[in-house]
Structure 1
Amino acid sequence: MHDVIVVGGGPVGLYTALLLRQSGLDVVVLERRPERGSHSRAIGIHPPALRALAAAGVADELRRRGVLIRDGIARSGGRHVGTVSFSVLPGTEQYVLAVPQAVTEEILERRLERDFPGTLLRGVALLTTHDAGDRVLAVTRSQGEDAVLDAKLIVAADGARSSVRDDAGISARPRRYPDCYVMGDFRDDTDDGDDAVLYLETGGIVESFPLPDGLRRWVVRVGSPVEHPTVEKLAALIRERTGIGVAPDTNSMISAFDVRSRLAKRFVAGRTVLVGDAAHEISPIGGQGMNLGWLDAARLAPIIGASLQDGKDVAAHLARYEKERRAQAALARRKAHLNMALGRPLPAVLMRPRNAVLGALIRNGAVHGGVARAFTMQ
C-alpha cells in the first residue's frame, strides 16, 4: 500500500508529489502519457506560486530558464494607454516569470526523478477508483495489463475533466463564456524586450508576452471558435489589429481555445482530494490556473503529512483547505471574467473614453499598486 496516489503528471501533479515525497511519504504518480509534452501552453508563474516552488527547491532553475516580466504595457490604436510596473510589489519577486510549461514540467520531473526515482509512472492509464473506507483502490492499465493499486489517499491532479472527481461523485458543472482565442509563439521581432503588451483594440484584445530563446507569445481574441487555426491567419490578425508583422515561418506553436470555467462543489470527499484544474478550471486569460494548483498543493501537503505520518486528526484542516481554496478559485474566476471583459470588442466611440479612464487609473499610485497585485495574484 502506498501513502498517496497522485493522478496526473502535469506541473501540479509533479509538484504535489515532490512536496509529499520531501515530507517522507510513499507516493506514486500515475500519468497516461508515455512521454512529456513539448507544448509551451501555460507560461506565467506569479510571485506567490514562485515562493511555493522555492520551498520545493526548483525556483532558481525556473528563473534561470525563464524571462522576468517587470512591466505590463497597454496600447490602443498605436498610442500608449498606461504601464503597470511590478516594481511596486512587496517582496523580492517583483515580476511575473515566463517559462514554457514544457520546461516547467521538465524541471519538476527531473527533480522528482533525481531525488525520488521511480515515483512517476508513465504510460499508466487510470481506469477507475474506489473508496473502500480504510483505503482507496485504483484500477490501472499499462501495456495491456491491468493492476490494482492501494493507497491511503488519492490526490486528483488529472485536469478539468477529472475521472477521479467523477468516481468520487463530486459535481463540477462547467460555465461557458462568449470568448474565443487563437495563440501562437513566434520569433520576437518587436522592440518590447521583456515587457508584456496588451493591445486594446476595437476588434478585440491582442496580448503579447516575451518567452525565452527570443520568442514571443501572441494571443488574439476572435469572434467564434476556430477549429483549425493557421499561422497565416493568426499573423494577419496580429498585423490588422496592431500593425506589427510576425514572421509565419518562425512559428513554433499554434492553438485555439474557447473559454469555460468550473468549480467543484467539494474539494475533499472521503479519501479523495482535488487540486488544480480537477478542483477549479479557470480561464487561461490572466494565467492563474497553474499557479492556483501549485498553491493548492502547498496548502495541502502539510495536512496530508500530519495525517499520514503523525496520525493527527486533520478533518478540520481539510475543511479549511476546501473553504480557503474554493474562495481563492472563485476570486480568480472573477478576475478572469474582468480580464476577458476588458478584451472584448468595443466601438471606437466607446473605446477611446474607456482607455482614457484606464490610463488615468493606472497613473494613480494607489490604484497602480492594486492593479499590479491583482495581475500577480497578490
Structure 2
Amino acid sequence: MRDVIVVGGGPVGILLAGLLAVRGLDVEVLEQRSEPSMRSRAIGIHPPSLRALRQLGVAETIIEGAVRISGGEVRSGGRRLGRLRFAETADRYERVISLPQYETEAVLRARFAELRPGGFRGGVTVTGVHDRGDRVALDVAPDVGETLEARYVVAADGARSLVRDLLGIRCTARTGGETYLMSDFADTGEHGGEAVLFFERGGVVESFPLPGGRRRWVAMTPALLTDATSGDLATLVRTRTGIELPPSESAASSFAVQQRLARRLVAGRVVLVGDAAHQISPIGGQGMNLGWLDALQLAPALERAIREPDAAASVLADYDRRRRRSARMAARQAGFNMAMGRPADGLRLRARNGLVRALAVPPASAILARAFTMRWL
C-alpha cells in the first residue's frame, strides 16, 4: 500500500508527487495518457511557483530553458495606454518567465523518475474509488480486476476529473463563456521581452514571448472557431491591430473559458488539486500556477496527515479552506481580465482606456503587478 497515489500526471500532479517524494513518502502517479501531450498550452510561470519548483530541485533547469517576461504593455488604436514593469531584481526566483507546458512537464517527469524510479504509470484509467476509512482503494483499467491502495489519493486529473465525478463532488459555476483562438509565431522582435495586450474595439489580442525566438498570440473571438488555422488568427490580429504576423506551421487552438469551483476539495481520504478542484480562465496565466500553489500547500499537509493521524482532519480542512479562498480570488481576477478584453466602442471604450491609464501609474501599478504575478495567492 502506497502512502499517496496521485491520479493525473500533468504539471500539477507530477509536481505534487515530486514534492511528496522529496519528503520521503511512497508515492505513485497514474496517468490516463500513454504519451505526453506536445501541446504548448500554459506558458507563464510566476514567482510563487518558482518557490515550489525550487523545493523540487528543478527551478534552475526551468529558468535556463525559459525566457523572462520583463513587463506588460497595453495598447489601443495604435497608442500605448500604459506599461507595467515587473520588479527588476537579481533574485532569479522573483521573475516571471515563459516556457511551453510540454517542456515544463518533461523536466518535472525526469525529476520524479530520479526520486521514484518506476513510480509513474501511463495508460491507466481509474474506474472506481472506495474510501475504506483507513485507506483508499482504486479500481483501474485496462488491468481488469486490479485494485490499488493508498493511505491518501489525490485527484489531479483535470477539469473533467473522473475521480471527482466518482465521488459525486459537484462544482459551482462562475463566470465564463468567452472564446479565444491562439497559436505560436516567429517573434519579429519589436516587443522584446514584454507581454502586450491590445484592447481593441473588436476584442482583446494578447502576445507573449516564448523561448526559441517565438511568440504566443491569443485573440478573443465572437464564437468557438474549432476549424480555424494560424492563418485565420493572423488575419484577425492584422484586422484588429494592423500587425502582420509571419506564416506559421503551428496549429491554432480554440478554447472556451469555463470557471468552476468544486464545492469541497477534501472527501475523506481523497483530495482535489489543480483543475480538478478549480477551473480558472487561462487568460492571465493563473491556471497551472494556481494548481502548483495547491501542491505547495498540500504536500506538507499530507506528510503531516500520514505521520500524525490525529492531525489529519484539521490540516486537510485548512487546505480546503485556504485553497478555495485563493481560487475565488483568482476567479475574480480572471473575470476582471476577461471583462477588460471584451469588444467595446464609444463611451465604454473611452471609459475602459481611461481605467487602464489610471491603473498603469503608481500606486495602482504596484498593486496590479503584485496581482498579475500571483503574489497574494
Alignment TM-score > 0.5, same fold = yes
Tell me if 1:239 matches 2:238. Answer: yes
- What is the rounded CA distance, in whole Å, between the counterparts of 1:370 and 1:88 in structure 2? 16
Conserved? CA contact 1:126–1:138, under 8 Å: yes
- What is the rounded CA distance, in whole Å, between the counterparts of 1:117 and 1:306 in structure 2? 24
- What is the rounded CA distance, in whole Å, between the counterparts of 1:285 and 1:322 in structure 2? 24
Q: How big is the shift at 1:312?
A: 4.5
Range moving further from structure 2, 316-325 or 101-110: 316-325
**Partner of 1:228 in structure 2?**
227
In angstroms, what is the RMSD of aligned CA positions?
1.7
**Distance 1:146-1:193 versus aligned 2 partners, 3 A rule:** farther
Conserved? CA contact 1:130–1:167, under 8 Å: no
- TM-score, structure 2 length as denominator? 0.95
Q: Residue 303 of structure 2 is aligned with which of 297, 302, 305?
A: 305
Q: How big is the shift at 1:232?
A: 1.8
Conserved? CA contact 2:359–2:368, under 8 Å: no
Deviations 1:209-254 (A, max 9, x none): 0001111000000111222122221110011111111123x23232
Q: How big is the shift at 1:314?
A: 2.2
Conserved? CA contact 1:89–1:369, under 8 Å: no
Q: Which amino acid aligns with 1:4?
A: V
Q: How many matched pairs?
A: 375
**Partner of 2:169 in structure 1?**
170
Conserved? CA contact 1:89–1:373, under 8 Å: no
**Partner of 2:42 in structure 1?**
42
Tell me if 1:12 matches 2:9. Answer: no
Q: How big is the shift at 1:360?
A: 3.2
**Partner of 2:327 in structure 1?**
329
Q: How big is the shift at 1:145?
A: 4.5
Tell me if 1:279 matches 2:277. Answer: yes
Unaligned regions of 5+ residues in structure 2, if any? Answer: none
- What is the rounded CA distance, in whole Å, between the counterparts of 1:195 and 1:321 in structure 2? 35
**Partner of 2:217 in structure 1?**
218
Deviations 1:5-43 (A, max 9, x none): 100000000001001111111111000111111110001
- What is the rounded CA distance, in whole Å, between the counterparts of 1:265 and 1:50 in structure 2? 28
Report SS of the residue matched to 1:177. Answer: coil
Q: Which amino acid aligns with 2:217?
A: W
Conserved? CA contact 2:175–2:335, under 8 Å: no
Q: Residue 376 of structure 1 is aligned with which of 355, 365, 373?
A: 373
Q: Which amino acid aligns with 2:366?
A: G
Q: Which amino acid aligns with 2:367?
A: G
Conserved? CA contact 1:202–1:348, under 8 Å: no
Conserved? CA contact 1:306–1:312, under 8 Å: no
Indicate the percent of aligned positions where both proteins have the same amino acid.
49
Conserved? CA contact 2:266–2:320, under 8 Å: yes
Report SS of the residue matched to 1:338. Answer: helix
- What is the rounded CA distance, in whole Å, between the counterparts of 2:50 and 2:170 in structure 1? 31
Write out aligned runs for 1:124-139 (5 A): 124-139=124-139
